[in-house]
Structure 1
Amino acid sequence: MPSELPRRTQALVISPDFGRFWLGQALANLAGKGITLLIPLVAVVALDAGPAEVGLLNAAQFLPLLVFTLFAGAWLSGRPHRPVLIAAHTANAVLLALVPLVTALGGLDIRLLYAVVFAIGAITCFADVCALAYAPALVDGERLVVANSRLETTYALATVAAPGVGGILLGALGGSLSLSLGVAAYLLAVVSFTLIRHRAAPAAAAGEAAPRAGIVRLVREGLAFSWRVPLLRRLTLQAAWFNLFEQAVLTLYLVYAVKELGFSPGLLGITMMIGGAGSVLGSMAASRIGRRLGAARTLIAGIGLASAGPLVFPLVSGPVWLTAALCTASFVVYGFGLTVFNIFSLTARQRTTTEELLAPASATNRFVAFGTIGIGAALGGAAGSGLGLRPALWVAAVALLLGWLVFAVTLLRSGSDGEGGRHEDPAVARDAVPAAA
C-alpha cells in the first residue's frame, strides 16, 4: 500500500509489491543474462571451445524461445503467477549449481553445458511470459507504462552489463565461484517474489486454465493481429532481424576478443559492463528524444544507433588498450540506442493492442523477435568457423545496418506517427472513416 513507503520511494518503486517484483526480476535478469556470457566463456577457457561450439552453446540457450514460448502462454492461462515465478527460478538455481558441482568432481563436459543452458532457457520462457502477465496485476492502469519503463530499463541494463559482469567475475574468481554467485542471485530473486503479498483471485488460484479451444483461438488471434497491424508487424520484424544478427555479432565477439584481440575474460567483461552505461543514459534520455523527434523518428534513431555500434568490432586494431576503449564505446552506443527503441516499441505495442489480445500478442512478439536469437548464435558460430572471425563479423554488422535501412524507409513511408493506438489497426481506421455521401 502507498502509505507503507516514503513519497520518494513510492515514486521510484510505485508500490511495495511492485518493488518486490521489480527487485526479483532484476536479480533473475542479472543471473540469466550473466550466464549467457559466463557459461560460453567457461567453455572457451576451461574446455578450449571453438567458434562452432560456442555458437551451438549460445543457440542452446535461446532455442527454447522458439520451442516453448507460445505453449508457455497457453499453459499459464488462468494460473497464479507468483508460484510459477518462485518455482521457475528455484529450478534455475538448482540447474546452474550443477556446473560448479560437476567441475569440482572433475567431470565438466561441453555436453553438460548444452543441457544446462537449454533447460534454463526453457524454464525462463515460462518465467518471462509469466512476468509479462503479472505486472498489470500489481500496478493500476495509470501507472502501468511507468512500471513497464522501469522493467524495460532494468532488462536492457542486465542485457548489456550483466554479461560483462560475468566476464569480470570469471577473470577474478574463476568459473565455479562466478557461477555460484549466479545461483545466489536466482535464490535471492525467489526470496523477493515470496515476499509479494498480492494473491491471485480464487478462480486463478484454483488453477482453472482456459478451455483448450479458447487458448488456441487466442494464440491464433494474437498472431493474426500482430501481422495485420502494419506498425506491430514492422516493429516485430525489425526486432527479429536485429536479434538474429546481433546475436551472431555477440557470439563472434566473445571468441574474437579473446583469441584475436588479446582480451582477458576480465577485460572483455569490462568492455561490456561499462557499455551498460549506455542503457542507463538511453532510459534517461528517451522521453526527451521522443518529444524532440517524435515517436517514429525516435524508433528509427534508436535502432539505427544500436545497429551501427557493432560495426566497430571488425574495424578495430592496434594496442589492447585502444581496441578495448573502442569496443567499450561501441557497447555504449549500442545500449543507448537499443534501450530507446525498446521503450518506444513497448509503449506503441501496448497502446495499439486491445486488452483481450495483449497477452497473446505479446507472446507473438516474443516468439518471433526472440526466437531468432538462437538461430543467430548458431549462424554466427558457423560463419566464424567457415569464413574466419573478422569476415563473419563484417557480414553480421553490415546485415544489421541493412535491416535498419529497410525499417527506416518503410516506417517513414507508412505515415505512422509511431505513437501507437487503435488508429493503427486497419479495421478500426476503416470503420472510423465516414461513408461517402
Structure 2
Amino acid sequence: MTVSTLHAQESHANSSVRPRESRVSRLIINQDFTKFLLSQIVAQFASKSLAVILPLMAVITFAATPTQVGLLNAAQFFPVFVVTLFAGAWLDRRPRRPALIAAYVGNGILAATLPLATSLGIVHVYVLFFVAFGMGSLIAFSDVAYQAYIPNLVRSDQLVQANSRLEVAFSLAMVGAPGLGGLLIGAFGGSTAMVSAVIAYVLAAIGVLAIRTREKHVRVPERGEGTLKRIAEGMKFTAKMPLLRVLTLQGAWFNLFEQAVLTLYLLYGIRVLGFSPQLVGLTMSLGAIGVLAGSAVARLIGDKLGTTRVLILGMGVASIAPVIIPFAAGSQAVLIALTTLSFIIYGIGMTVFNIYGISLRQRATPHGMLARVSATYRFLAFGAIGVGGIVGGLAGDSLGLRPAMFFCIIALAVGWLAFARSLPSAITRFEESERAAEAAENAPQAV
C-alpha cells in the first residue's frame, strides 16, 4: 500500500469541521493550524532540549555518576507511566485547547524554578529531580492533548498532511533540540538555558491561545462509564488489533534502547571521545539534517516501496545507525564527523518511520478512541524512554561505556528483526478486515 492510498483513505475527523482557510498556499493548510504548528515546534524544542540540559547540569555541576544521570533522565520520562493513560480518558470528555494552554504555562513556571533556586543559593541535585519530574508530568499530559486536538483544526482529508508536518517538527525536535540544549548550557550555563525554556513555553501558550477555531463538542460519558473502564477499553483495543500491537511493542523496544544509547553518549562523548558539552550538543544537533532529508524523501520512498517496506526500512536504518559511534576512532575532526554521520543517518530512518507509522496508527483507530489509543501507545512506547535511561546508566556502570553501547545497539537490531518479521502479516490482516468492512458497507440493501 503506497502513501497515496494512505492519503486517500485516512479519515477520522468530522468532515463538517471547517477551520478558517488560508489563501497563502496549501503548505500551511489553514491559519489556525499554522499557529498550532508553530506553538508545537517551540514547545517540543523546549521539552527535548531540557532532556539534555538537566543531565548535563548534573554531570558538569555535580559530577554525577552514570546511574545518577540515568535516574535523572528517568525522572523526566517516568511520569508517562503515571499521567498518560488518565490524560487520555480525561481528555476524551473535555476540551483540549484549555488543557494545552494550562500545561504550557505550568511548564514555564517549573522551568523558572531552577534559575530562582540558583539565585537563592538553593542549588542541589534534588532540585533537578523535582523540576524534571514536574515538567515530565505536564509534557506527558500535553502530548496526549495535542494529538486529540488536531482533528478540530483540519478536515478529515487533511489529517495525514497535518500529522506529517507535526511529525517532522517532532522529529526535528527529537534530533536537533538536544544539541541546542548542549550548546545553550555550554555557552551560557544551566540557569540561563532554563530561562530560554520559560520563554519558549510562554510563546507556545500564546500560540494556542490565538487559535480561533471553535472546538468540537466532546461527548459526555454515560453514567457508570468510569475513567478506569475507559482506560481499559483503549488498552484492550490496542492489544487485540495485531497492527496496533506490533507498532506499539516495536515503539517501546526501540525507545527503551535508543534512550539507553543517548544516555550513554552524553557520558561517552565527554569522557571517552574528549568532546566538550558544546561538541556533544553539536553532533546531536546536526542530526537534524537527517530529519530534513528523511521528510524530503519519505513520500518518494513510500511510493516506490509501499507502507510495509518503508516502515521496515526506516526502523532498520534508525536502529543500526548508532553502531558508528562506538567504532569511531581517529583525530577529533574524524570523531566529530563520524558521530555526526551516525545522528544524520538515524534522523533519516526515524523520520521516515514516524511519518508512516503515525498515519497508519490513526487510520487503524476509530476517531472515538483516538485519545485513549494514543495514550496507550505513549504509555508503553514513551514510558520505555524512562526505563531506557536507567538501563543505559546501569549498563554503563556495570559493563563500561563502550561495551554498554554495543549491548544496547545489538538489542535495537534484534528488535528490528522481530518487527520486520511480524509487521507484514499484521498489515495484511488489517487490510483484509478493512476490505471486508468496505464490501459489507457497499453491499445491496433490501428494501
1:60 correspondence with 2:72: no
CA shift in 2, pair 1:22/1:212, >3 Å = farther
Q: Does 1:225 align with 2:225?
A: no
The CA deviation at 1:214 is: 5.2
Shift of the alpha carbon at 1:417? 5.2
Which residue among 389, 405, 416 is the counterpart of 2:427? 416
Whichever residue aligns with residue 323 of structure 1, its letter is L
Which residue of structure 2 aligns with residue 28 of structure 1? Answer: 43
Mapped contact 2:77–2:386 kept (Cα < 8 A) = yes
**CA deviation digits over 1:236-293, x for unaligned, max 9?**
1111100010000000000110111111111111101111111111111111101111
The AA in structure 2 aligned to 1:84 is A
In structure 2, distance between residues paired with 1:60 and 1:233: 26
1:77-226 alignment to 2 at 5 Å?
Answer: 77-200=92-215, 204=218, 211=223, 213=225, 215-226=227-238
Stretch of structure 1 that moved more, 216-225 or 164-173? 216-225
- CA shift for structure 1 position 208: 5.7
In the TM superposition, 1:267-416 aligns within 5 A as 267-412=279-424, 414=425, 416=427
The structure 2 residue matched to 1:47, chosen from 45, 58, 62, is 62
- Provide, for residues 390-434 of structure 1, a one-character-per-residue CA deviation record: whole Å limited to 9, x for no partner: 11111001100111011112224x27359x657269x969989x9
Q: Compute the displacement of 1:5 (Å).
A: 3.4
Following the alignment from structure 2 to structure 1, what is the Cα–Cα distance between the partners of residues 432 and 375? 19
Distance 2:376 2:306 in 1: 26
**What residue identity is the alignment partner of 2:71?**
L
User: What code does the residue aligned with 1:34 have?
Assistant: S
Q: Deviations over 1:208-228 (max 9, x none)?
A: 666552544432222122112
Q: Give 1:352 shift.
A: 1.5
Q: CA shift at 1:2, angstroms?
A: 7.7
Contact preservation (8 Å) 2:92, 2:371: no
Number of matched pairs: 425
Q: Which residue of 1 aligns with 2:267?
A: 255
Task: Give distance in 2, aligned partners of 1:429 and 1:300.
Answer: 27
- Percent identity, aligned pairs only, is 48
Q: Which runs of 5+ in 1 are unaligned?
A: none
Q: Match of 1:261, as an amino acid? A: L
Could you tell me whether the CA contact under 8 Å between 1:353 and 1:421 is conserved in 2? Answer: no
For 1:210 and 1:30, locate their aligned partners in 2 and report how far apart those are by CA, in whole Å.
39
Separation in 2 of the partners of 1:424 and 1:326? 45
Partners of 1:6 and 1:230 in 2: how far apart? 41
Give the deviation of 1:33 after TM superposition: 0.4
Q: Distance in 1 between matches of 2:376 and 2:133?
A: 21
Query: 8 Å contact 2:243–2:426 — kept in the other structure?
Result: no
Q: Distance in 2 between the 1:81 and 1:398 partners?
A: 40
Query: Bigger shift: 167-176 or 214-223?
Result: 214-223
TM-score, normalised with respect to structure 1: 0.92
Which secondary structure state, in structure 1, belongs to the residue aligned with residue 427 of structure 2?
A: coil
Q: CA deviation at 1:81?
A: 1.4
In structure 2, distance between residues paired with 1:4 and 1:415: 38
- Map of 2:22 onto structure 1: 5
Q: 2:212 is paired with a residue of what secondary structure?
A: coil
Q: Which amino acid aligns with 1:292?
A: K
Equivalent residue for 2:256? 244
**1:38 corresponds to which of 53, 74, 78:** 53
1:44–1:54 contact (8 Å) kept in structure 2: yes
Cα distance change, pair 355–77 in 1 and its aligned pair in 2 (3 A): closer
Distance in 1 between residues matched to 2:232 and 2:64, nearest whole Å: 41
Q: Could you state the TM-score of these two structures normalised by the residue count of structure 2?
A: 0.90
> Cα 1:187–1:429, aligned 2, differ >3 Å: closer, same or farther?
same
The alpha-carbon distance between structure 1 residues 131 and 210, as it changes in their structure 2 partners (threshold 3 A), is farther
Please say if residues 100 and 176 of structure 1, whose CA atoms lie closer than 8 Å, have aligned partners that are also in contact. Answer: yes
- Compared CA separation, residues 211 and 322, structure 1 to 2 (3 A): farther
Unaligned runs of 5+ in 2: 1-17
CA apart distance, 1:128? 1.1
CA 1:219–1:2 in 2, change beyond 3 Å: closer, same or farther? closer
* CA deviation vs aligned residue, 1:12-59 (integer Å, no higher than 9, x gap): 221111111111111100100010011111111111112111000000
> How much is the aligned-residue C-alpha RMSD, in angstroms?
2.3
Distance 2:440 2:356 in 1: 27
Secondary structure of 1:213's partner?
A: coil
* Closer, same or farther: CA 424–303 of 1 in aligned 2, 3 Å: farther
